[in-house]
Structure 1
């Protein structure tokens, strides 16, 4: 990479400074109790503690025979141990057969092990394997130790131990673990309620017949989808012209009675003549320049209890601004322990120039053909940050993040890559 000594001009905030401002305002929302059947994608507000031991009782780890170890400890194919089978124990059985020397119980995986047994011999270590339950068990391979193939009560987790920590997102694996410990209800943060407003007189509904100067509106689709993916409840999605009165009416509706926790707008925050968001909100929230490309013009603040984000209007700028500023805030409102996307450092197969003094977010595609050496390539044919991209976003897997002091990236350079999936 080619470095320079020139950093962001004093008039611009760094991305880190703006992120810090946003996250300081994004306080976790209230907690609520929900059944685990409705908790997928939610964020834990409190640690979850096991209600029961896991396993709940000594159980068989194999299909085979519950035995007394001394009966089989020297068994071989030439000198097998023959045991009389007195019981059949499928999973879920409550039977408690009493074993003594020379006796065994046929047992299936997960079934409770009789208290008088201390080892399980798998069918594979017997002469005839699975057969009628009351046939003799002929053991041809001795267990390695007493207690073999028995999962002991509580060996994985004891009742009262922490199963999942506050701040964790509940996915399928976490919910399975919680259910396995006998817990049916968890405390989670309330989902942020989000309103989306896309501004621009030039915007037309996708599928509409376009007049001269009009373009299909896509920012509201982008923002609503990204907010939902970040765990928010999108309560309204609107598109409005660059008229102050029309935007004010939608703004008031979104914020009425504290219905929205977050309002995200696109467009109308730059230095043009028809910047409707700036015209209406210039005295209520802060409009700043952030040292990032794309996404330099930004607005942020609080009105009553709602966080307000004013993003620029180009779709690629909206997408980058959301990843850098809005998504972390939505996760912080949910009390998420980690609010940033995972990062990797990967080699790029193509070079590009980067604007001095601004942290650059370059949409890239990942080459995962070699699992040991992933690489990236800019999604835009010209290798740019793609502020003009819209349709090209469909092929983006990640963003390469280039520091403000770097003026050029060469093929083969390692770059920090923010993974999007």
Structure 2
């Protein structure tokens, strides 16, 4: 690790977090509703053809014309969905078939029931008359039309969506190899933090970071096992980190607060003396003070204590490393035209402005401050270090939230 108090770019710190997180584990799970949202750790390959056999796309009659102008056919069988016909059609014969039913050998086409003189319900008739010449292959779904066995249904890194579950199961897949969700503990620090159901008193504030970061981690595919609030007393934090390091169900600890250079910075007081930790101030606003390292064997990422700073730092610095660990493709920022009044920014640091991307493709900054602006935002505008002002019409880089 570099010396404590060193300087590091946003890109360097993002890479350092990704290295700390490393690669995630994988597991094989049933391809069912419980796999929804998981990222594939290996290609999902079809085990069977889809459809598995030539089948009817309509309720109607499978026909094998004996002559080009044949209209009337003897009905030699009845095939409901789920059954396999034990007969073949000879030239000049027909069989009633339902949608999805396997068509008999010899089938040339399927004629919808509404194009015949037969009733759509009741027993199959002895004879049926069709009203037009059928086109070979009409309303017949051939075996493997959608998928052939051995073909890749979804590539590694794809999300297991409800539609992919349907496709995979229909193609004979029963299990899927997926990334294991990172098990996270969140620790919000600060003597001023009051729990939701308590009166903060004259000098306290309502605590919000623990559940905000927990929700961000869950949105990034993590399994949040614990969300704790800790005072500014070093012994209390040290005991909590020791307990989390011994917890076999915790892969990562994310702290908020206590990372600046002032007094009572409890995370820094406890962790900075350890050779496995690094604390830096990034040329970034908000969220400049940062730390990371290992407490025992457990990775710990230390975010600032302001809610907006912690939110932005998680999205900009932590989320990319979690996406890589979970096998998700990297998010790609877009571009949009800035609309609104000129806005001064601080040159010399990368700024991330809580903003709103509109349906017309333009982006603006809410006319509000701090958390109110964050709550209204659906994206972040990235303002490079050398820019000191946003002007109406500027093309800016946009990160969706």
TM-score clears 0.5: yes
Counterpart position of 1:299 = 291
More displaced, 280-289 or 18-27?
18-27
1:271 Cα deviation after fit: 1.7
CA contact (8 A) 2:72 2:129 kept: yes
1:175 Cα deviation after fit: 1.8
1:269 aligns with 2:259: yes
Counterpart position of 1:19 = 14
CA contact (8 A) 1:31 1:45 kept: yes
1:396 aligns with 2:387: no
Seen in structure 2, the aligned counterparts of structure 1 residues 142 and 221 have a Cα distance that, compared at 3 Å, is: same
Seen in structure 2, the aligned counterparts of structure 1 residues 49 and 200 have a Cα distance that, compared at 3 Å, is: same
SS in 2 for 1:198: strand
CA contact (8 A) 1:64 1:123 kept: yes
CA contact (8 A) 1:265 1:309 kept: yes
SS in 2 for 1:177: helix
Matches of 1:33 and 1:138, distance apart in 2: 53
1:361 aligns with 2:352: yes
In the TM superposition, 1:15-164 aligns within 5 A as 15-37=10-32, 38-68=34-64, 71=67, 81-126=71-116, 130=120, 132=122, 133-134=124-125, 136-143=127-134, 145-164=135-154
Matches of 2:230 and 2:328, distance apart in 1: 36
Alignment coverage as a number of residue pairs = 391
CA deviation string 1:333-374 (max 9, x = no partner): 22x14143x533223332422221222211122333xxxx33
1:332 aligns with 2:324: yes
Seen in structure 2, the aligned counterparts of structure 1 residues 362 and 142 have a Cα distance that, compared at 3 Å, is: farther
Counterpart position of 2:3 = none
CA deviation string 1:23-53 (max 9, x = no partner): 2333222222211232122222222222211
1:323 Cα deviation after fit: 0.7
Matches of 2:350 and 2:65, distance apart in 1: 67
1:148 Cα deviation after fit: 2.1
CA contact (8 A) 1:86 1:134 kept: no
1:304 Cα deviation after fit: 4.1
Structure 1: unaligned runs, 5 residues or longer: 1-10, 76-80
In the TM superposition, 1:275-290 aligns within 5 A as 275-284=265-274, 285-290=277-282
Matches of 1:126 and 1:200, distance apart in 2: 79
CA contact (8 A) 1:28 1:189 kept: no
CA contact (8 A) 2:185 2:224 kept: yes
SS in 1 for 2:18: helix
1:403 Cα deviation after fit: 2.3
1:96 Cα deviation after fit: 3.3
1:374 aligns with 2:369: no
Matches of 2:361 and 2:128, distance apart in 1: 54
Structure 2: unaligned runs, 5 residues or longer: 1-5
Seen in structure 2, the aligned counterparts of structure 1 residues 224 and 119 have a Cα distance that, compared at 3 Å, is: same
What TM-score do you get using the length of structure 1 for normalisation? 0.86
Matches of 2:118 and 2:279, distance apart in 1: 79
SS in 2 for 1:308: strand
1:135 Cα deviation after fit: 6.2
1:329 Cα deviation after fit: 2.1
CA deviation string 1:372-400 (max 9, x = no partner): x3332213x15xxx5xx235433222222
CA deviation string 1:76-131 (max 9, x = no partner): xxxxx222333332221222343223321222221111111021223354466735
What TM-score do you get using the length of structure 2 for normalisation? 0.90
